[in-house]
Chain A
């Protein structure tokens, strides 16, 4: 846009002819040889100036110049002076302008005034809008403060003009007084200045402008002159801000009596609002009598400067600011440069007018006084603390007050509270309590107790932020109880203060702030995501205090631990989980998740996430390690521990909290976990503090018990978590010796295991009263000492399992074989004990943990972990360990290091037989005496649902171990492990008996699946998942033991089929039951595991057409970590699809389905093998140097270990934890997509396009086309061909790929439809349409120079592609839908109401391509190349239904009317979505005048040619806007008038056919849709009404009415 205010720079003719540089200055000043003479300053003034003595060389040189007069000036005239109309050229103007100032002064002022007149005239002629635009433009160009600068210069100039005028009148011409800068009067700028934006810092050019002029140097004459003219408003008062508020406060004059704003002296220096109050006073003073300097200012030494510096803008000579401006004008301002920071102190005060913060203090004279302060409260603002919040956004928060416990109190309550609660010490007026700012300020106090008290308040505030009061109370209780649990009684300040003031706090305790209306908004603000700043501040305040000694440090750690506590439990991700918060459930869920490999908790937008990401881990972790080693509460602790035990060192509460913090961090994300592992001393520190090795002297059993107690379960879990996070971590843990230390515990407790075997009779008898699980009631069976150590032992075994999943530390299996053997013996003995008794108690009473522990999981304590021990847990851990070692031993080259464990060793240990024995024994027990299903009543209130969870887990682990044994034997044992298989079959047979495990579990799953709809929740899903894991393990055994699955009865096979279908339905992407969440992600692992194993089983037993639909249904639902399984399934599927038609069928020619396998494999694995975070550098190398790219890829690779480890996975997997689930694609995100501001949030939710990894989702079939379209994208397969294996010479063309893809899609859908299983996993109409759109968009390979099959052969012109695309879309056509309604009740495709825009998001992604743009391109392509391809035309129409924004219709109907003409689509061929069907096209009626106009226009112009669906749509909307009887509601007057006009237009311009159809068109919004031609032939009352309208309007006459009578 042309800028009309700022004209171009023109060269002006100079009036003075340029003269050659004169040497007079050199010669006259006594320079010799061209160099100045060296002369010491002290040698006196040689120039006669009285002031020269103290002057710098620069100044003298300048004076010299001036003395030389014009000679010096003309020297500078070489450069032509320029005239600028804006301040951009100010500086140059300034320097040059002064040269010809004297000569040109009159002229200059005249042209200036002329310009200014012109400008003013123009500005006044502008509209308000234009002015605003111009103003904005000027501001854009010159910065915000241009207005201020211009205003100042203008003032100055006017002042000077006045001076000159005066002087002229007096006849005294002083040449020195002139205008120093040429500033144009600009009314616009003045406007902007007046509108009151305040400058923050002036342009540098402005600074140099005012400082580089000659007039600045104070010669006596000029100064004297100005001095005489000094007007009060010209005085610039230099702010004399003291360096600290204290000093300033002391300098205050005593306040007036009765002044409302008087502040107590006690608050000085602390209350931030002090500044404001005082400020107000200042300004009031100044405002009252600005002519006379305020008394306060008179006290200051700088008052002199007021006299000395009348100019107002010039700093005093000698001040840092002055030096800086004068000699280093190009330097940045001192406060911006650290080296010059020392100057900032002084200059900040000197440059008062340049910064707003000080400006508010200092410009009291010029600035208008602020509104009077009515009450000191209202002015208390957080901004008064440097670096806090924004004043506006934190409005309600700044007034919220808290008690000493962090409980918020409402303003009314705070007025009522008595003064002795300690809440008034820092309070204002009569309000009690502390604001957030108070707390933050006081938490930096130097008084330790004050500081610690405030940290306590912060802890309370965090609990308030988190919400639930009950929870916070509980966690508070547990926080304090953690000390008791560790055998300590640390005296804590908080309980003390509680007890002290407890009597007064009674009313406060009962006060429920959640219900208080007054502070609701403040609470909401506090909890809103935007308030994470507050939490962040709290976190950092706590971190600051952590390193302190004593109670402050304790409280600091407390605050940090509290802030980092997970705000919502892991399982909270489950949508619709309305179960109450249940700690025990949480605990069991977390434990189960750990068994499954864990999951990263990052990725949510919760507060905890933001906080952890904000942590500077590099600095924080070493500090925390320091605190951990030397905790501040060590002294107290030491006394206690010494008295209690000599060698048992227990951890202090602070250490517990730090461990808790570490644990939270470790579970956050793998990166953080690696960071933790890398921090020097962290792991060893935790080991030292929490895992104390038992003293070497202790060989007795008592010592071993003691040492076990000192083992901290949370610490063990922390290690397990670290190991699960990444392979590097596991290696680091082994290297640090964690595993070695833990092995010692196993050794020391192994002596206990031998006890029962040696004295079996005694234990058996002792067992009899409370069999079979003495561990659960540890009090009753003291004889079995391992029961005491079981939980810790289980944890240790779990840690070894985690290591084993990377193939690490497996050598202990052989090295410590005695221990494992004795453990195995002990377990067998226990089970035999059950046998001996023949008295099996109902499992629910025994194994449901009988002691409900009150401790909650989010507390930083180990209490929840020390639940009653379960023998079954131990058995499960041990079996899992056996399983992983068996897997590791299968191939010795896969372990790290190699040959750590070999098969012969494993065989020697006899684990396989042991597993068989135990399993068989157990199964016999259960099948004879116990029915699993006796307690299957789903009853969430009862603990029953949790019952045999532990038993089931143990069974599952045993089955897995068995499977691993059989699988290993197949490779390593003689004859492919035939004998082993025989043994295993025996075991499996037992479990497959009529009341056996499989039946029971299967029934259980089915029931859970059924009830899942009603009772969605953690309990149900947990149970379901556990059962399916067991079932999956059984399947795994079956697959390897009995490939033909002959032992599976038909009944059982049926049941399994039903179960698997239910699971598929549950996991199907369209299932609305489950939103994606952490809980869902983690719980789906066993489900998919079951599906994969079941599929393998099925594949071995049934013909292709039985399992192919199942495989097709399973493939899209497989989840993260199932990559191996998915690739295998894919292989089956592709091979099978290739065979479906059989050789020689139509699809055979040129379609090689296997060719596209690389795409799918890449999609499945891609996420892990492509660098996840692509920096620009990476991207370049990826393109330039292939080798380097490879190295990068390997580094960033992520392979999640599968749930059933294989010998390959233990070598390859880099992590065992699931990545955080990707945020769900919610429709609410897209509902607001029209609004621009939401774009950013949407971007965050949708990832950049690339291979999605698992789950594949419904549209997986079509993915290869994405890669074709995005072949240039760095994430495309074509850029990453090295990642997946592909056949030699693999270079398929677009047509081949699309053919294969479509064939797979068509066959897949058919198969799924026929089998009626999982048809819901196929595409919706929108997805299918979008897939076709992508195919139509393919045009890369149209080589015009060398056409292959006909010229410009587009992909969609290929015969097969065309045919299959038609088949793909067929089920969605109107004709098919009408058929389907009558014939088959089964849905042929999933129903979904996602729009095309939403469906396209994963592909178009956030790469700045909205679907609208894609659609625009598509329409353009249709217009250019389609030859009115009928299918292409059909594809164009879906986005123009009334469901979508009007823009799509405008594009098609208004911008491409000729395209509409060529859309010859029969109505029944139209594809429809699932929502409203064809109604979504018809209602609501089109109201947009442009589209309506286009309808009319197209219909009038192409009336005869237009046909099919588009004609119907146009007719419908035109008729609907003419006839009132078609509309949903009555016409308004304006609508009636419009309808009349519309009718006239139609009648006058339309052909007879069109007019007739408009007249006869009949449709009803409420009844079913009438398709053409039925909609033109109905009769009814409405005809008369229409006739009436025609008569009324008088259009057309009888001819027209006759049409209606037919």
Chain B
């Protein structure tokens, strides 16, 4: 009812800045970063990445309100780097990690496709079976279940 429009979750408002950094006045080497139009997905990843870096003393994030699409990231470093710098490093590392993951996944998946098309067409036929509707009991039937069971292993890298 009161939920904001969906697009507000990812579209920046007029004049809104995506990232704001506020240095903490009382705690040394600490800053609070407000990142708008993002949610737990990014917040949690960033926090985890930051925590894995030795210079970081504290890293935490919170989403103050579930209907407000922003989160607050709190970073405290040991003084060798500024929070902004370490955040930048973390972002870069994260991007690296993600892209390598992406590549790996794609590669493995293409292997899998080659492999499975070479060996058997079982998976294909059952899927075809679903589409034609000859098995009205869908997942309930033994064949379908077996298909799911056998089809599962491409996720298990």
Interface residues of A (CB under 8 A from B): 2, 4-8, 10, 12, 83, 85, 115, 118, 121-122, 125, 1342, 1344, 1347, 1350-1352, 1357, 1421, 1423-1428, 1458, 1462
Interface centre among B25, B58, B142 (most CB of A within 10 A): B58
Q: Which residues from A are CB-within-8-Å of B51?
A: 1458
A1351 to B24, CA, bound (A): 7
Is the CB of B141 closer than 8 A to any CB of chain A? yes
Tell whether, in the assembled complex, residue B74 and residue A1425 are in contact, meaning their CB atoms are under 8 Å apart. yes
Given A118-B137, A118-B142, A122-B142, the answer on whether A1350 and B61 have CB atoms closer than 8 Å is: no
A1427 to B22, CA, bound (A): 14
Q: Which residues from B are CB-within-8-Å of A1352?
A: 22, 32, 72
Given A1427-B24, A1427-B27, A1427-B74, the answer on whether A7 and B137 have CB atoms closer than 8 Å is: yes
Q: Which residues from B are CB-within-8-Å of A1342?
A: 64
* Interchain nearest-CB distance for B140 vs A (Å): 4
Q: Which residues from B are CB-within-8-Å of A1428?
A: 57-58, 76
The 8 A-B pairs at the shortest CB distance, nearest first, are namely A1424-B62, A1351-B22, A7-B137, A10-B136, A7-B140, A1424-B60, A1428-B58, A1458-B51
A1424 to B59, CA, bound (A): 7
Tell whether, in the assembled complex, residue B61 and residue A1424 are in contact, meaning their CB atoms are under 8 Å apart. yes
Q: Determine the main DSSP class of A at the interface with B.
A: loop
Tell whether, in the assembled complex, residue B76 and residue A1427 are in contact, meaning their CB atoms are under 8 Å apart. yes
From A7, A1423, A1425, A1427, give the contact of B136 (CB < 8 A). Answer: A7
* Interchain nearest-CB distance for A127 vs B (Å): 14
Given A1352-B32, A1462-B57, A1462-B58, the answer on whether A83 and B136 have CB atoms closer than 8 Å is: yes
Is the CB of B138 closer than 8 A to any CB of chain A? yes
Given A122-B142, A1344-B64, A1458-B51, the answer on whether A1427 and B30 have CB atoms closer than 8 Å is: yes
Tell whether, in the assembled complex, residue B72 and residue A1426 are in contact, meaning their CB atoms are under 8 Å apart. no
Tell whether, in the assembled complex, residue A1425 and residue B62 are in contact, meaning their CB atoms are under 8 Å apart. yes
A85 to B51, CA, bound (A): 53
Is the CB of B139 closer than 8 A to any CB of chain A? yes
Q: Which residues from B are CB-within-8-Å of A122?
A: 140-142
Is the CB of B66 closer than 8 A to any CB of chain A? no
Q: Which residues from A are CB-within-8-Å of B133?
A: 10
Q: Which residues from B are CB-within-8-Å of A121?
A: 142
Is the CB of B37 closer than 8 A to any CB of chain A? no
Closest to B23 in A: A1351
* Interchain nearest-CB distance for A413 vs B (Å): 65
17 A-B residue contacts at CB 8 Å?
A4-B140, A6-B140, A7-B137, A8-B136, A85-B137, A122-B140, A1350-B24, A1350-B25, A1352-B32, A1352-B72, A1424-B61, A1425-B60, A1425-B72, A1425-B74, A1427-B30, A1427-B76, A1462-B57
A8 to B24, CA, bound (A): 58
Q: Which residues from A are CB-within-8-Å of B61?
A: 1424
Given A1425-B74, A1428-B57, the answer on whether A118 and B141 have CB atoms closer than 8 Å is: yes
Q: Quick one: which of B118-145 are within 8 Å of A by CB?
A: 133, 136-142, 145
Q: Which residues from B are CB-within-8-Å of A1347?
A: 22
* Interchain nearest-CB distance for B152 vs A (Å): 15
Please encode chain B, from 5 to 44, with 1 for each CB lying within 8 Å of some chain A CB and 0 for all others: 0000000000000000010111100101010000000000
Given A1344-B34, A1350-B25, the answer on whether A1426 and B138 have CB atoms closer than 8 Å is: no
Tell whether, in the assembled complex, residue A1424 and residue B142 are in contact, meaning their CB atoms are under 8 Å apart. no
Q: Which residues from B are CB-within-8-Å of A1462?
A: 57-58
A1426 to B62, CA, bound (A): 11
* Interchain nearest-CB distance for B135 vs A (Å): 9
* Interchain nearest-CB distance for A10 vs B (Å): 4
Closest to A1428 in B: B58
A708 to B24, CA, bound (A): 85
Q: Which residues from A are CB-within-8-Å of B74?
A: 1424-1425, 1427
A1458 to B51, CA, bound (A): 7
Known: A1427-B74, A1462-B57. 12 other contacts (CB 8 A): A7-B137, A7-B138, A8-B136, A118-B137, A122-B142, A1344-B64, A1350-B24, A1350-B26, A1421-B62, A1424-B60, A1426-B60, A1458-B51
Interface residues of B (CB under 8 A from A): 22, 24-27, 30, 32, 34, 51, 57-58, 60-62, 64, 72, 74, 76, 133, 136-142, 145
Q: Which residues from A are CB-within-8-Å of B138?
A: 7-8
* Interchain nearest-CB distance for A1584 vs B (Å): 39
Tell whether, in the assembled complex, residue A1357 and residue B26 are in contact, meaning their CB atoms are under 8 Å apart. yes
A6 to B139, CA, bound (A): 10
* Interchain nearest-CB distance for B71 vs A (Å): 9
A972 to B37, CA, bound (A): 73
Tell whether, in the assembled complex, residue B142 and residue A125 are in contact, meaning their CB atoms are under 8 Å apart. yes
Q: Which residues from B are CB-within-8-Å of A118?
A: 137, 141-142
Closest to A3 in B: B140
Tell whether, in the assembled complex, residue B58 and residue A1427 are in contact, meaning their CB atoms are under 8 Å apart. yes
Closest to B145 in A: A4
A1498 to B34, CA, bound (A): 30
Closest to A1462 in B: B58
Q: Which residues from A are CB-within-8-Å of B27?
A: 1427
Tell whether, in the assembled complex, residue A1351 and residue B32 are in contact, meaning their CB atoms are under 8 Å apart. yes
A118 to B140, CA, bound (A): 9
Q: Which residues from A are CB-within-8-Å of B25?
A: 1350
Q: Which residues from A are CB-within-8-Å of B22?
A: 1347, 1351-1352
A1342 to B72, CA, bound (A): 12
Given A85-B137, A1350-B26, the answer on whether A1344 and B72 have CB atoms closer than 8 Å is: yes
Q: Which residues from B are CB-within-8-Å of A1351?
A: 22, 24, 32
* Interchain nearest-CB distance for B82 vs A (Å): 15
Q: Which residues from A are CB-within-8-Å of B24?
A: 1350-1351, 1427
Q: Which residues from A are CB-within-8-Å of B139?
A: 2, 4, 7
* Interchain nearest-CB distance for A116 vs B (Å): 12
Q: Which residues from B are CB-within-8-Å of A2?
A: 139
Q: Which residues from A are CB-within-8-Å of B26?
A: 1350, 1357
* Interchain nearest-CB distance for B72 vs A (Å): 7
A1344 to B32, CA, bound (A): 11
* Interchain nearest-CB distance for A1350 vs B (Å): 5
* Interchain nearest-CB distance for A292 vs B (Å): 46
From A5, A12, A1427, give the contact of B140 (CB < 8 A). Answer: A5
A1344 to B62, CA, bound (A): 12
Closest to A1458 in B: B51
A7 to B64, CA, bound (A): 43
Q: Which residues from B are CB-within-8-Å of A1424?
A: 60-62, 72, 74
* Interchain nearest-CB distance for A1197 vs B (Å): 36
Q: Which residues from B are CB-within-8-Å of A1423?
A: 60
Q: Which residues from B are CB-within-8-Å of A10?
A: 133, 136
A1226 to B142, CA, bound (A): 56
Q: Which residues from A are CB-within-8-Å of B140?
A: 4-7, 85, 122
* Interchain nearest-CB distance for A1425 vs B (Å): 6
Q: Which residues from B are CB-within-8-Å of A7?
A: 136-140
* Interchain nearest-CB distance for A769 vs B (Å): 90
A1458 to B44, CA, bound (A): 13
A83 to B74, CA, bound (A): 59
* Interchain nearest-CB distance for A5 vs B (Å): 7
Closest to A1357 in B: B26
* Interchain nearest-CB distance for B131 vs A (Å): 14
Closest to A4 in B: B140
A1347 to B30, CA, bound (A): 17
Q: Which residues from A are CB-within-8-Å of B136?
A: 7-8, 10, 12, 83
Q: Which residues from B are CB-within-8-Å of A1425?
A: 60, 62, 72, 74
A122 to B137, CA, bound (A): 12
Closest to A13 in B: B133
Closest to A1347 in B: B22
Closest to B27 in A: A1427
Closest to A122 in B: B142
Q: Which residues from A are CB-within-8-Å of B141?
A: 118, 122
A578 to B107, CA, bound (A): 83
A12 to B60, CA, bound (A): 57
Q: Which residues from B are CB-within-8-Å of A85?
A: 137, 140
Closest to B73 in A: A1424
* Interchain nearest-CB distance for B14 vs A (Å): 16
